[in-house]
């Protein structure tokens, strides 16, 4: 049983007309970290996940979804 955290950051970012750098500045991380999260290569801490959701003004599970997959 594997698991993956998917996110809608790119979609929400586009909707809010935010660049990766602008989101990074508001969350307090580097642009490269935002990129890594968007690509699913890095799973953020709960604190950062809440901060990202707060930037978009949506609940956490609107941004991040946990999926269990059978492998």
Q: What is the binding site for another protein (CB under 8 A)?
A: 28-33, 35-36, 39, 41-42, 44-45, 48
* Closer residue to another protein, CB minimum distance, 1 or 6: 6
Return the number of the residue (15 or 30) whose C-beta is nearest another protein: 30
Least distance from another protein to the Cβ atom of residue 52, Å:
12
In DSSP notation, the chain reads: -EEEEEE-HHHHHHHTT--HHHHHHHHTS-HHHHHHHHTTSSPPPHHHHHHHHHHHTS-HHHHEEEEEE--
- Cβ within 8 Å of residue 28, ≥6 positions away: 51
Compare residues 45 and 71 and give the one whose CB is closer to another protein.
Answer: 45
Nearest approach, Cβ of residue 20 and another protein (Å): 11
């Amino acid at each position: 049983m594997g698991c993956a955290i998917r996110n809608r950051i790119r979609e929400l970012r586009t909707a809010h007309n935010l660049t990766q750098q602008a989101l990074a500045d508001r969350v307090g991380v580097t642009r490269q970290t935002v990129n890594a999260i968007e690509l699913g290569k890095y799973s953020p801490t709960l604190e950062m996940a809440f901060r990202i959701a707060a930037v978009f003004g949506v609940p956490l599970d609107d941004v991040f979804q946990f999926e269990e997959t059978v492998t």
